[in-house]
Amino acid sequence: MDPRINGFDYRRVGVADGVTLNVAVGGSGPAVVLLHGFPQTHLMWRHVAADLAADHTVICPDLRGYGDSDRPVDTDGTGYAKRTMAADVVTLARAFGHERFALAGHDRGALVAFRAGLDHPAAISRLALLDVVPTLDMWDVLHGTSAAVAFHLYLMAQPPGLPEELIGGSPDAFFGHFLDVWTRDPEALPADVRAAYLRASRDAVTSIVADYRASAGIDVAHDSADRAAGNRLRMPVTVLQQDWGAALGYDAAEVWRAWAPDLEHRTVTSGHFMAEEAPAEVVRTLRALLDR
Protein backbone atom coordinates (compact mmCIF):
# COMPACT_ATOMS: atom_id res chain seq x y z
CA MET A 1 0.00 0.00 0.00
CA ASP A 2 1.27 3.47 -0.89
CA PRO A 3 2.11 5.93 1.91
CA ARG A 4 -0.58 8.36 3.03
CA ILE A 5 -0.71 11.74 4.71
CA ASN A 6 -0.83 10.99 8.42
CA GLY A 7 -4.08 11.97 10.11
CA PHE A 8 -5.93 12.69 6.86
CA ASP A 9 -9.07 10.97 5.66
CA TYR A 10 -9.27 9.62 2.11
CA ARG A 11 -12.32 9.94 -0.07
CA ARG A 12 -13.36 9.69 -3.69
CA VAL A 13 -15.27 12.71 -4.93
CA GLY A 14 -17.05 13.08 -8.25
CA VAL A 15 -16.22 16.37 -9.98
CA ALA A 16 -17.46 15.84 -13.55
CA ASP A 17 -19.30 13.26 -15.61
CA GLY A 18 -17.25 10.09 -15.32
CA VAL A 19 -14.45 11.74 -13.33
CA THR A 20 -13.84 10.97 -9.66
CA LEU A 21 -10.82 12.31 -7.79
CA ASN A 22 -8.86 10.64 -5.02
CA VAL A 23 -8.67 13.19 -2.20
CA ALA A 24 -6.92 13.43 1.15
CA VAL A 25 -8.58 15.88 3.55
CA GLY A 26 -7.71 16.92 7.09
CA GLY A 27 -8.06 19.68 9.66
CA SER A 28 -10.81 22.26 10.07
CA GLY A 29 -11.26 25.94 9.42
CA PRO A 30 -10.83 28.03 6.25
CA ALA A 31 -10.06 25.85 3.24
CA VAL A 32 -6.73 25.50 1.49
CA VAL A 33 -6.51 23.30 -1.60
CA LEU A 34 -3.07 21.93 -2.53
CA LEU A 35 -2.37 20.70 -6.08
CA HIS A 36 0.59 18.45 -6.84
CA GLY A 37 3.05 18.48 -9.72
CA PHE A 38 4.79 16.02 -12.06
CA PRO A 39 5.68 13.21 -11.64
CA GLN A 40 4.01 13.14 -8.26
CA THR A 41 0.71 12.79 -6.46
CA HIS A 42 -1.02 14.55 -3.56
CA LEU A 43 1.57 12.86 -1.33
CA MET A 44 4.12 15.56 -2.16
CA TRP A 45 2.23 17.86 0.25
CA ARG A 46 2.46 15.47 3.21
CA HIS A 47 4.66 17.75 5.37
CA VAL A 48 3.02 21.04 4.43
CA ALA A 49 -0.52 19.69 4.69
CA ALA A 50 0.04 18.33 8.19
CA ASP A 51 1.18 21.76 9.40
CA LEU A 52 -1.61 23.75 7.73
CA ALA A 53 -4.24 21.34 9.06
CA ALA A 54 -3.67 22.75 12.55
CA ASP A 55 -5.98 25.65 11.65
CA HIS A 56 -7.27 25.03 8.13
CA THR A 57 -9.27 22.48 6.23
CA VAL A 58 -6.63 21.12 3.87
CA ILE A 59 -7.77 19.39 0.68
CA CYS A 60 -5.18 17.47 -1.34
CA PRO A 61 -6.48 15.79 -4.50
CA ASP A 62 -4.74 13.75 -7.12
CA LEU A 63 -5.37 15.74 -10.29
CA ARG A 64 -7.45 14.04 -12.97
CA GLY A 65 -5.15 11.74 -14.90
CA TYR A 66 -2.72 11.34 -11.98
CA GLY A 67 -2.35 9.13 -8.92
CA ASP A 68 -5.48 7.25 -7.96
CA SER A 69 -7.87 9.71 -9.59
CA ASP A 70 -9.76 8.76 -12.73
CA ARG A 71 -7.96 8.99 -16.05
CA PRO A 72 -10.61 9.83 -18.67
CA VAL A 73 -9.75 9.39 -22.32
CA ASP A 74 -9.25 12.75 -24.01
CA THR A 75 -11.47 12.55 -27.08
CA ASP A 76 -11.50 16.18 -28.25
CA GLY A 77 -8.40 17.89 -26.85
CA THR A 78 -10.21 19.51 -23.92
CA GLY A 79 -10.12 16.67 -21.40
CA TYR A 80 -6.85 17.83 -19.86
CA ALA A 81 -7.09 21.53 -20.62
CA LYS A 82 -6.15 23.46 -17.50
CA ARG A 83 -9.58 25.08 -17.75
CA THR A 84 -11.18 21.65 -17.38
CA MET A 85 -8.88 20.65 -14.54
CA ALA A 86 -9.44 23.98 -12.76
CA ALA A 87 -13.19 23.40 -12.91
CA ASP A 88 -12.56 20.03 -11.19
CA VAL A 89 -10.86 21.85 -8.32
CA VAL A 90 -13.64 24.39 -7.79
CA THR A 91 -16.25 21.62 -7.86
CA LEU A 92 -14.18 19.61 -5.39
CA ALA A 93 -13.96 22.47 -2.90
CA ARG A 94 -17.71 23.02 -3.16
CA ALA A 95 -18.28 19.34 -2.44
CA PHE A 96 -16.61 19.95 0.93
CA GLY A 97 -18.75 23.05 1.51
CA HIS A 98 -16.25 25.73 0.49
CA GLU A 99 -17.36 28.30 -2.08
CA ARG A 100 -14.20 30.33 -1.52
CA PHE A 101 -10.76 28.99 -0.68
CA ALA A 102 -7.01 29.54 -0.88
CA LEU A 103 -5.24 27.57 -3.59
CA ALA A 104 -1.63 26.48 -3.94
CA GLY A 105 -0.15 24.49 -6.79
CA HIS A 106 3.23 23.09 -7.68
CA ASP A 107 4.47 22.48 -11.24
CA ARG A 108 1.52 21.07 -13.25
CA GLY A 109 -0.75 21.79 -10.31
CA ALA A 110 0.42 25.41 -10.40
CA LEU A 111 -0.73 25.69 -14.02
CA VAL A 112 -4.14 24.37 -12.97
CA ALA A 113 -4.18 26.83 -10.07
CA PHE A 114 -3.21 29.71 -12.39
CA ARG A 115 -6.12 28.88 -14.68
CA ALA A 116 -8.48 28.57 -11.69
CA GLY A 117 -7.45 32.04 -10.57
CA LEU A 118 -8.27 33.50 -13.99
CA ASP A 119 -11.48 31.56 -14.58
CA HIS A 120 -12.89 31.54 -11.02
CA PRO A 121 -11.71 34.73 -9.27
CA ALA A 122 -14.72 34.80 -6.96
CA ALA A 123 -13.78 31.35 -5.61
CA ILE A 124 -10.03 31.86 -5.08
CA SER A 125 -9.09 34.08 -2.13
CA ARG A 126 -5.30 33.61 -2.28
CA LEU A 127 -3.07 31.95 -4.88
CA ALA A 128 0.37 30.36 -4.43
CA LEU A 129 2.29 29.08 -7.46
CA LEU A 130 5.42 26.98 -6.96
CA ASP A 131 8.24 26.57 -9.49
CA VAL A 132 6.43 27.21 -12.73
CA VAL A 133 6.08 29.81 -15.47
CA PRO A 134 2.67 30.53 -17.06
CA THR A 135 2.17 28.31 -20.08
CA LEU A 136 2.20 31.10 -22.63
CA ASP A 137 5.41 32.56 -21.21
CA MET A 138 7.00 29.14 -20.75
CA TRP A 139 7.23 28.59 -24.49
CA ASP A 140 8.59 32.11 -24.98
CA VAL A 141 11.46 31.79 -22.49
CA LEU A 142 12.70 28.43 -23.77
CA HIS A 143 15.22 28.95 -26.55
CA GLY A 144 18.54 27.65 -27.81
CA THR A 145 20.44 24.93 -26.01
CA SER A 146 19.05 26.02 -22.63
CA ALA A 147 15.69 24.64 -23.74
CA ALA A 148 17.15 21.14 -23.42
CA VAL A 149 16.22 21.25 -19.73
CA ALA A 150 12.60 21.04 -20.87
CA PHE A 151 12.95 18.28 -23.46
CA HIS A 152 9.95 16.46 -22.00
CA LEU A 153 7.68 19.38 -22.89
CA TYR A 154 8.55 18.99 -26.55
CA LEU A 155 8.32 15.22 -26.48
CA MET A 156 4.85 15.18 -24.95
CA ALA A 157 3.66 17.95 -27.26
CA GLN A 158 3.80 15.56 -30.21
CA PRO A 159 0.60 14.04 -31.68
CA PRO A 160 -0.80 10.94 -29.97
CA GLY A 161 1.18 7.77 -30.51
CA LEU A 162 4.92 8.25 -30.39
CA PRO A 163 5.28 9.94 -26.95
CA GLU A 164 3.09 7.33 -25.28
CA GLU A 165 4.99 4.48 -26.92
CA LEU A 166 8.43 5.83 -26.07
CA ILE A 167 7.59 6.67 -22.45
CA GLY A 168 5.57 3.49 -21.97
CA GLY A 169 8.55 1.43 -23.13
CA SER A 170 10.54 2.39 -20.02
CA PRO A 171 8.34 4.47 -17.72
CA ASP A 172 10.40 4.06 -14.55
CA ALA A 173 13.51 5.33 -16.34
CA PHE A 174 11.61 8.28 -17.79
CA PHE A 175 9.77 9.41 -14.66
CA GLY A 176 12.64 8.43 -12.39
CA HIS A 177 14.95 10.73 -14.35
CA PHE A 178 13.00 13.78 -13.18
CA LEU A 179 12.79 12.58 -9.60
CA ASP A 180 16.58 12.24 -9.65
CA VAL A 181 17.73 15.37 -11.49
CA TRP A 182 15.19 17.85 -10.13
CA THR A 183 16.02 17.30 -6.46
CA ARG A 184 19.02 18.61 -4.57
CA ASP A 185 18.28 16.46 -1.52
CA PRO A 186 17.57 12.85 -2.50
CA GLU A 187 16.66 12.01 1.09
CA ALA A 188 13.60 14.24 0.70
CA LEU A 189 12.13 11.49 -1.48
CA PRO A 190 12.35 8.31 0.63
CA ALA A 191 12.16 4.96 -1.10
CA ASP A 192 8.49 4.31 -0.39
CA VAL A 193 7.44 7.74 -1.64
CA ARG A 194 9.58 7.44 -4.76
CA ALA A 195 8.10 4.02 -5.46
CA ALA A 196 4.58 5.45 -5.07
CA TYR A 197 5.32 8.21 -7.57
CA LEU A 198 6.76 5.75 -10.07
CA ARG A 199 3.83 3.37 -9.68
CA ALA A 200 1.31 6.13 -10.18
CA SER A 201 3.09 7.57 -13.21
CA ARG A 202 3.70 4.17 -14.77
CA ASP A 203 -0.04 3.52 -14.68
CA ALA A 204 -0.94 6.91 -16.16
CA VAL A 205 1.34 7.47 -19.15
CA THR A 206 -1.48 8.27 -21.57
CA SER A 207 -3.22 10.79 -19.33
CA ILE A 208 0.03 12.46 -18.24
CA VAL A 209 1.00 12.93 -21.87
CA ALA A 210 -2.47 14.32 -22.58
CA ASP A 211 -2.01 16.85 -19.79
CA TYR A 212 1.29 18.03 -21.26
CA ARG A 213 -0.02 17.97 -24.83
CA ALA A 214 -2.78 20.36 -23.78
CA SER A 215 -0.12 22.83 -22.71
CA ALA A 216 1.19 22.97 -26.27
CA GLY A 217 -2.28 23.58 -27.68
CA ILE A 218 -5.51 24.51 -25.99
CA ASP A 219 -3.84 25.96 -22.88
CA VAL A 220 -1.84 28.35 -25.06
CA ALA A 221 -5.06 29.42 -26.77
CA HIS A 222 -6.75 30.11 -23.43
CA ASP A 223 -3.77 32.06 -22.05
CA SER A 224 -3.47 34.05 -25.28
CA ALA A 225 -7.14 35.02 -25.12
CA ASP A 226 -6.75 36.21 -21.53
CA ARG A 227 -3.65 38.23 -22.35
CA ALA A 228 -5.38 39.86 -25.33
CA ALA A 229 -8.38 40.72 -23.12
CA GLY A 230 -6.17 42.11 -20.36
CA ASN A 231 -7.38 39.57 -17.82
CA ARG A 232 -5.20 39.33 -14.72
CA LEU A 233 -5.22 37.56 -11.38
CA ARG A 234 -7.27 39.65 -8.97
CA MET A 235 -6.26 38.01 -5.70
CA PRO A 236 -3.00 38.22 -3.72
CA VAL A 237 -0.46 35.95 -5.42
CA THR A 238 2.80 34.46 -4.17
CA VAL A 239 5.24 32.83 -6.57
CA LEU A 240 8.01 30.68 -5.10
CA GLN A 241 10.48 29.24 -7.57
CA GLN A 242 14.03 28.33 -8.35
CA ASP A 243 16.00 31.06 -10.08
CA TRP A 244 14.86 30.07 -13.55
CA GLY A 245 15.13 33.64 -14.74
CA ALA A 246 18.88 33.65 -14.22
CA ALA A 247 19.23 30.16 -15.68
CA LEU A 248 17.24 30.88 -18.84
CA GLY A 249 17.88 34.59 -19.26
CA TYR A 250 14.65 36.38 -18.42
CA ASP A 251 13.14 38.45 -15.60
CA ALA A 252 10.93 35.93 -13.82
CA ALA A 253 9.34 38.46 -11.47
CA GLU A 254 8.45 40.72 -14.40
CA VAL A 255 6.85 37.81 -16.25
CA TRP A 256 4.65 37.09 -13.25
CA ARG A 257 3.89 40.76 -12.53
CA ALA A 258 2.26 41.04 -15.95
CA TRP A 259 -0.33 38.52 -14.74
CA ALA A 260 -0.51 39.32 -11.02
CA PRO A 261 -0.53 42.96 -9.85
CA ASP A 262 -0.59 41.95 -6.16
CA LEU A 263 2.53 39.79 -6.35
CA GLU A 264 5.09 38.48 -3.89
CA HIS A 265 7.88 36.77 -5.86
CA ARG A 266 10.69 34.82 -4.19
CA THR A 267 13.40 32.44 -5.27
CA VAL A 268 14.57 29.40 -3.30
CA THR A 269 17.81 27.48 -3.01
CA SER A 270 16.15 24.06 -2.77
CA GLY A 271 15.48 21.89 -5.77
CA HIS A 272 12.24 21.64 -7.72
CA PHE A 273 10.50 19.47 -5.12
CA MET A 274 10.54 22.27 -2.56
CA ALA A 275 7.49 21.11 -0.58
CA GLU A 276 9.48 17.98 0.26
CA GLU A 277 13.00 19.43 0.34
CA ALA A 278 12.16 22.64 2.23
CA PRO A 279 8.70 22.17 3.77
CA ALA A 280 9.26 24.68 6.56
CA GLU A 281 10.04 27.40 4.04
CA VAL A 282 6.98 26.52 1.98
CA VAL A 283 4.78 26.55 5.09
CA ARG A 284 6.11 29.99 6.09
CA THR A 285 5.45 31.29 2.61
CA LEU A 286 1.91 29.93 2.49
CA ARG A 287 1.05 31.22 5.94
CA ALA A 288 2.37 34.66 5.02
CA LEU A 289 0.14 34.62 1.94
CA LEU A 290 -2.87 33.54 3.98
CA ASP A 291 -2.27 36.52 6.28
CA ARG A 292 -2.07 39.07 3.44
Domain extents in the chain: 9-291
pLDDT-derived band at 34 (thresholds 50, 70, 90) equals very high
- Superfamily of segment(s) 9-291: Alpha/Beta hydrolase fold, catalytic domain (3.40.50.1820)
Output the pLDDT for position 246: 81
Percent of the chain with pLDDT over 90: 93
Question: Rounded to the nearest 5 degrees, what angle is found at the Cα of 146, between the Cα atoms of 144 and 151?
Answer: 95
* Band of pLDDT at residue 240, cut at 50, 70 and 90: very high
Please write down the HEC assignment for all residues of 121-164.
CCCEEEEEEECCCCHHHHHHHCCHHHHHHHHHHHHCCCCCCHHH
Average pLDDT over residues 114-122: 98
Alpha carbon distance 214, 207 (integer Å): 11
52-61, 130-139, 159-168, 239-248: which has the minimum mean pLDDT?
A: 239-248
| Residue 248 binned pLDDT confidence (cut-offs 50, 70, 90) | confident
Strands of 124-130's sheet, edge to edge?
A: 9-16, 19-26, 57-61, 31-35, 101-106, 124-130, 237-241, 263-267
Residues 240-261: what's their mean pLDDT? 90
Residue type, 230: G
Residues with catalytic roles: 107, 272
pLDDT the model gives residue 245: 81
Taking the whole predicted model, whether its pTM rises above 0.75 is answered as yes
Residue 147, pLDDT score:
86
Q: How do residues 129-180 score in pLDDT, each as one tens digit?
A: 999 999 999 999 898 888 898 999 999 999 999 999 999 999 999 999 999 9
Cα separation of 81 and 107, whole Å?
15
pLDDT at 143: 86
pLDDT at 161: 96
Is the predicted pLDDT of residue 39 greater than 90, yes or no?
yes
Average pLDDT, the chain: 96
The pLDDT value recorded for residue 110 is: 98
pLDDT band at 2 (very low <50, low <70, confident <90, very high): confident
d(CA 266, CA 256) in angstroms, rounded, equals 11
Q: What does the pLDDT read at residue 146? A: 85
Q: Residue 216 corresponds to which amino acid?
A: A
Q: Helix, strand, coil shares of the chain as percentages rounded to 5?
A: 50, 15, 35
68-107 tens-digit pLDDT: 999 999 999 999 999 999 999 999 999 999 999 999 999 9
What confidence category does residue 247 fall into, taking pLDDT thresholds of 50, 70 and 90?
confident
Do 22 and 69 meet the contact criterion of CB atoms below 8 Å apart?
yes
Decide: helix, strand or coil at residue 31: strand
Q: State yes or no: pLDDT of 256 exceeds 90.
A: yes
Q: Are 22 and 68 in contact (CB under 8 A)?
A: yes
